[in-house]
Structures are given as structure tokens and as C-alpha cells.
């Protein structure tokens, strides 16, 4: 279904060679930015942000402007016709006729895929609820290449809200495709990595361990990826408060880490990294945010080329079967075709990856 355009919904829809060529292009743009300043002359990028954002939205906008293109969009759906009740399908249809490329962020899982179904231009997923965040992962991979010189044989600790953090889901899926990577998941019991991500790692033969203590894990790591507790994804303030402040990376903990550890964070930081750590040369999160502009420039150029076409729904449309995940886009946009992967007693929703028993 929808073979008209190439879309970036999930990085794993593309082969590793595609990611690697994006990173090489970003490296060239980083070294020779002026060579690219007119590549997108006359092109328009729309950013539809139904959720707050600083880095993702502004780095996309900066990327397009640095390529010579222009930008339109909203960062608050309350100021658009969404507030009058317009559905995702209609907003996407209209804006994708104004723009050459559309970047979307939304609180519901599966939104980028849902909007790509009706779009008349390529769609880029800039975060769909707690599900995926492929362009943050490209930023993280570009940072790893620049700072570690490789994407394989790394021991990566991921710490914080592993259940709701979309950045860590996309990152693990991508890094599991490179040889010899090992993961240490550092979280409380309540905020563990979802099992569908662990299943992907197992299928790729990647080793992973789950631990509670950051103190115990830190000395073994090549990369420490800190994340904030995702307050907006909790059902109650009480549940959030129970989790808040569990992990704080400070200079004392850093003193146990390897001298060539790098500390990454997609940002925004709340209080999970003490500000004293910022002056440690291993703290690379601000540089990481800057690298995000170059990889997004590479992505915009590549997507506008429109060489490949994306198959959006690969599974089977099951009439009468619904996804049980209340955070799935299909729970609010009722017209969407319900498509599931698998034929057995357990099927997987193609929008949000949630499993469902069929009997
Ligand atoms: C992340 C996001 O929005 O998922 N931020 C980002 O895009 N740089 C991480 C977060 O909000 O915690």
C-alpha cells in the first residue's frame, strides 16, 4: 500500500547501507557546508508538531534553511484547524500539497505511518508518542561515527525511562543491526525496555542485560545514553513522582567510568545529569544536538531525491479486529485500515507494534 513516495517512518524499513550513506553524506556536509547551500532552492518543508519540541523542530528547520529551502508549519496544533476537529488524514492531505516534504511529531504511536498513507509528499517521523524517533537515532549514529569512529563492537548503557523513551527504542533497533554491540539496560522495574525491542535484539543475536544500578554498570561502558523520565506519558502525576530522580549522573559516578566513555542524551535534560558533568570532556550531548542539523540536511536531500518507494502496510488488513493500545493512532483516527503482522493467535499492530491475541 502507498508506493508513491519514500517515507521515513521507521529506520529499519531501510537497509543498513542506506543509513551508512546518509552518515557519509552528513560527514561531507559537515566538512563542506557551502557546497550544499543551494541544493534545496525553491523547495518547501512543512513541520507539523502536535507535541512540544526544541531540537528536533529547530534542527529540521535550520537544516532546510541551510540547504536554501523554505519552511512552513505549526508547533501548536491549537493554532491550526486541528483545534476545529480536523482529522490527521485531511491535515496531511492539505499540507502535503503545499510542501515538498513533511516532518511530523505527534503524541500517538503510529502517526507518521498513518499520515504517510494519505500524503502527497514524503513524510518523516519526528517522534510518534513513546514509539519511535528515527531522526534522533540518525543523529546518535552520526555522533557515534564522529566521536567513536564506529557503530559496531560498542557496549552501550541506556539509562532512565526505557519503557516510554522513543529515542532508545529506535536506537536499539538500529544498533542491533551492527556486529558485536552489547546493551546494558539501566532502569527501574516499572520502566524496563519493552519486550518487542528485546525480541528484536534476541533475533539479531545481540547480548543485553537489565540492571537497576547505574553505579555498577558505568565502569564497563563505551557509551552511556541518558534519558529523562517521560512525564507526559504517565497515567498519573503520582506514578511519575515515584520514578523521578531515580538516576542522576554526577561527577562522582563519572569518576568510575572509562576515560573514553562518551555520554549522550537526546535532551531535554531535566535533572538526570548534574550540570557539573557538562564540563567533563566525555559529556557530548550538546555536540550531539549540533550534529543533528547535518544528518537532517543529509536526510532532506536524500528523501527529496525520492529514489525508493515505501511499502507502508506489509501485513494483512483484518476487518473487525482493533488494536488494544489506547496510545495507538488507530484508537483516535477510526477510518484507518487495521493492519496486523502475523497470522497466528498473536498478531502485531502495524502502527504501534503492540501485540494482540486473536482468540
Ligand atoms: C526526545 C524526544 O522528543 O523524544 N527529544 C528530542 O527529540 N531530542 C527526548 C525527550 O523528549 O526526552
Task: Please tell me the distance between residue 77's alpha carbon and the centre of ligand 1 in angstroms.
Answer: 18
Nearest CA to ligand 1 atom 8: 266
Percent of the chain with pLDDT over 70: 99
State whether the beta carbon of 127 lies less than 6 angstroms from ligand 1. Answer: yes
Give the per-residue pLDDT at 123: 98
Task: Please tell me the distance between residue 317's alpha carbon and the centre of ligand 1 in angstroms.
Answer: 32
- Coil, helix or strand at residue 290: helix
Give the per-residue pLDDT at 1: 54
State whether the beta carbon of 92 lies less than 6 angstroms from ligand 1. Answer: no
E strand spans, 180-295: 182-186, 207-211, 223-226, 262-264
Give the per-residue pLDDT at 357: 86
Residue 43 to residue 57: CA distance in whole angstroms: 17
pTM score: 0.97
**pLDDT tens track for 50-106:** 999 999 999 999 999 999 999 999 999 999 999 999 999 999 999 999 999 999 999
State whether the beta carbon of 137 lies less than 6 angstroms from ligand 1. Answer: no
Task: Please tell me the distance between residue 258's alpha carbon and the centre of ligand 1 in angstroms.
Answer: 26
State whether the beta carbon of 167 lies less than 6 angstroms from ligand 1. Answer: yes
Cis preceding linkage at 268, omega within 30 = yes
Give the per-residue pLDDT at 3: 67
Give the per-residue pLDDT at 359: 73
The stretches in the chain having pLDDT less than 70 are 1-3
Residue 356 to residue 359: CA distance in whole angstroms: 9
Give the per-residue pLDDT at 239: 95
Give the per-residue pLDDT at 308: 77
> Closest ligand 1 atom, CA of 167?
4
Mutation pick for ligand 1 pocket among 133, 159, 244 (CB with most ligand atoms within 8 Å): 133
State whether the beta carbon of 228 lies less than 6 angstroms from ligand 1. Answer: yes
Cα end-to-end span (Å), the chain: 27
Burial class (CB in 10 A: 0-12, 13-18, 19+), 204: middle
Amino acid at each position: 500500500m502507498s508506493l508513491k513516495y519514500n517515507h521515513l517512518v521507521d529506520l529499519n524499513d531501510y537497509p543498513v547501507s542506506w543509513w551508512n550513506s546518509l552518515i557519509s553524506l552528513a560527514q561531507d556536509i559537515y566538512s563542506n557546508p557551502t557546497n550544499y547551500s543551494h541544493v534545496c532552492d525553491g523547495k518547501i518543508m512543512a513541520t507539523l508538531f502536535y507535541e512540544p519540541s526544541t531540537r528536533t523542530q529547530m534542527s529540521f528547520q535550520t537544516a532546510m534553511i541551510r540547504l536554501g529551502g523554505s519552511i512552513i508549519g505549526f508547533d501548536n496544533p491549537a493554532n491550526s484547524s486541528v483545534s476545529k476537529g480536523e482529522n490527521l488524514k485531511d491535515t496531511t492531505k492539505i499540507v502535503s500539497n503545499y510542501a515538498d516534504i513533511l516532518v511530523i511529531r505527534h503524541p500517538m504511536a503510529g502517526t507518521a505511518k498513518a499520515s504517510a498513507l494519505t500524503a502527497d509528499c514524503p513524510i518523516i517521523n519526528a517522534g510518534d508518542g513513546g514509539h519511535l524517533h528515527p531522526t534522533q537515532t540518525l543523529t546518535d549514529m552520526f555522533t557515534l561515527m564522529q566521536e567513536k569512529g564506529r557503530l559496531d563492537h560498542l557496549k552501550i548503557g541506556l539509562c532512565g525511562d526505557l519503557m516510554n523513551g522513543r529515542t532508545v527504542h529506535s536506537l536499539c533497533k538500529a544498533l542491533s543491526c551492527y556486529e558485536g554491540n552489547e546493551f546494558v539496560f539501566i532502569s527501574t522495574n516499572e520502566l524496563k525496555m519493552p519486550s518487542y525491542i528485546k525480541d528484536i535484539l534476541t533475533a539479531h543475536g545481540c547480548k543485553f542485560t537489565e540492571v537497576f544500578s547505574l553505579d555498577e554498570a558505568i565502569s564497563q561502558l563505551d557509551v552511556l545514553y541518558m534519558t529523562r523520565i517521560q512525564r507526559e506519558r504517565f497515567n498519573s502525576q503520582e506514578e511519575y513522582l515515584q520514578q523521578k530522580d531515580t538516576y542522576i549522573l554526577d561527577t562522582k559516578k563519572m569518576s568510575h567510568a572509562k576515560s573514553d566513555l562518551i555520554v549522550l542524551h537526546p535532551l531535554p535534560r531535566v535533572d538526570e545529569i548534574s550540570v557539573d558533568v557538562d564540563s567533563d570532556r566525555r559529556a557530548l550531548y550538546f555536540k550531539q544536538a549540533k550534529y543533528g542539523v547535518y544528518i537532517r540536511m543529509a536526510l532532506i536531500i536524500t528523501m527529496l531525491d525520492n529514489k525508493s518507494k515505501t511499502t507502508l502496510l506489509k501485513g494483512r488488513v483484518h476487518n473487525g479486529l482493533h488494536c488494544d493500545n489506547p496510545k495507538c493512532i488507530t484508537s483516535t483516527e477510526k477510518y484507518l485500515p487495521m493492519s496486523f503482522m502475523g497470522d497466528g493467535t498473536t498478531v502485531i499492530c502495524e502502527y504501534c507494534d503492540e501485540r494482540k491475541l486473536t482468540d
